[in-house]
Amino acid sequence: MDRIEIHDLLLRCIIGINESERKNKQDVLINIVMWTDTRAAAASDNIDDTVNYRTVTKEIIEHVERSEYFLVERLAERIAEICLRDSHVRQVQVNLEKPGALRFARSVGVTITRTRADFEM
């Protein structure tokens, strides 16, 4: 299966369980891999035959920037669901990192993999 990848999408949102994290937006770094079949798009050269990653990314940006979650796991799950709303996406992997969340570590994060079956689509 083919992959469409979005690298290093840096956004800001309310994320975390500590009081200061609930008041101030923090950076989150997002990497996404969407599995799809690109053969129809390659043959037709038509955006309707593939994942419109600009549209997907726009939806993710809007969601993340207005979100207020306690856990990176929850935010990653919501991002996966947004990606899988595109009927061309069969499976998605979301890596979500919170830079500076731990002292002496560049970042802390989670990586999840979901399919359409995980969301009853």
Residues that are catalytic = 98
Beta pairing partners, 99: 107
What is d(CA 55, CA 45) in angstroms, rounded to the nearest whole number?
A: 17
Tokens matching residue 30: 């997002």
Residue 118 CB contacts under 8 Å (≥ 6 apart), including other chains: 80, 84
Tokens matching residue 104: 């002496």
